[in-house]
A = this chain, B = another copy of it.
Amino acid sequence: MDHLHELAHQAKEAAGKLALYDTATKNRGLEAIAMALEARQGEILEANDRDMAQAEQSGMRPAMLDRLRLTPERIAGMAKGVREVMALPDPVGEIMDTVARPNGLHIRKVRVPLGVVGIIYEARPNVTVDAAVLCLKSGNAAFLRGGKEAFGTNLVLAGIMKDALTQAGLDSDCVTFLDDTSHATADAMMRLRGFIDVLIPRGGAGLIRRVLETATIPTIETGTGNCHLYVDESADVDMAVEILFNGKCSRPSVCNALETVLVHEAVAERFLPAAYTRLEACHVEWRGCERTRAILPGITAATEEDYAQEFNDYILAARVVGSLDQALSHIARYTTHHSEAIVTADEAAAERFLREVDAAAVYVNASTRFTDGGEFGCGAEIGISTQKMHARGPMGLRELTSYKYVVQGNGQVR
């Protein structure tokens, strides 16, 4: 057995035990992790300094460096996050449905963990802790493969979590960190059938594509958001401007940020100049259709590619449309099925938008930035699913579970 399969085998064994731990045991493990992160801050910062130095040398972009950097405050934030997950209700064992059949069979649908959850992610070390503790609370063994830039930090974080689990009397293999960042091993991980039950890639489009091409284990696609705001003819223009500003400027690097605004021709002349002025605060670069440019002369012409891409930056595509229908077909063409919004005072238009737009979250008169486990009231999330199978939108503890049918009889045969 090679090293990868040995780790996978241990993770699977641990998952069998973890599925049977009660809530108190899992919470004891989580509290031990939170305390260990605080107590061993020095080691974490040291490893992170080395990763940072190497990343700077290799010319990593400032935004990426910032995601890699840990500080005492950020480590305290991680520990706080662990305790928040502790406080969430345990989904395992929940009776989802009960059926008493005429033949006397008694059937319960009971929530159970998925088993081993694989997570492949990029340079953010906080994912190592977030993902591990969400898996732990939901009864799943976490099998983690992080990016090479954060390797040293991740290795220390995983070691601290494993030590804490052992001290708390849990199986330390409930958390596995793959100590090999080669692409070949990542590919092999995506094919660990019989060991990993579900794979969740967290990262850019390149990673997602690689997983889809390579994986033979069930996968949940996450995180690409080409989100639209449609400003209807009946829209409150001031509200629309604020929702656009929030969607584009509050945090442009995240998946629920806006990328394109569509404006009904009847309000374009009022809306566009006001929006342009408001977004100047963040030096937003506009790329517009011809009709947008007639109202906002001097902005760049939008290409097909501009409408299709997630800028993740202070750039906005804009288009004037003649009708709600035109807006709906633009969205149908370019959506990544993440979050889409309409601003309107017309109930019929709102109703059509909500029904016809095919996305994880559809909004009337609110910002797409709310698509988030915390904002939806379901606690921390492991990612935002953009596929329709299994889970859609923010994935919290419940979305990290499956179920089984428990059937009790007294000799029934068919």
Contacts and interface: CB of A to CB of B under 8 A. Distances in A.
Interface in A222-250: 236, 239, 242-243, 245-247, 250
A100 to B, nearest CB: 9
A246 B212 contact: no
A116 B360 CA distance: 16
A361 B109 CA distance: 9
Given A213-B216, A355-B20, A369-B414, A402 B375 contact: no
Contact of A390 (B221, B361, B390): B390
A289 interface: no
Given A243-B413, A414-B370, A407 B363 contact: yes
Number of copies of this chain in the oligomer? Answer: 2
Q: How large is the interface on A (under 10, 10 to 19, 20 to 34, 35 or more residues)?
A: 35 or more
Contacts of A409: 363-366
A90 to B, nearest CB: 15
A359 interface: yes
Interface string A1-44: 00000000000000010011000000000000000000000000
Interface of A: 16, 19-20, 99, 101, 105, 107, 112, 114-115, 193, 197-198, 212-213, 216, 218-221, 236, 239, 242-243, 245-247, 250, 332, 350, 354-356, 358-367, 369-371, 375-377, 387-390, 392-393, 402-414
28 contacts: A16-B356, A16-B358, A20-B355, A101-B376, A101-B377, A112-B388, A114-B389, A197-B388, A198-B389, A213-B216, A218-B389, A218-B390, A236-B411, A242-B411, A245-B413, A246-B414, A358-B404, A360-B405, A362-B405, A365-B409, A365-B410, A365-B411, A366-B410, A367-B413, A371-B405, A375-B414, A392-B404, A392-B405
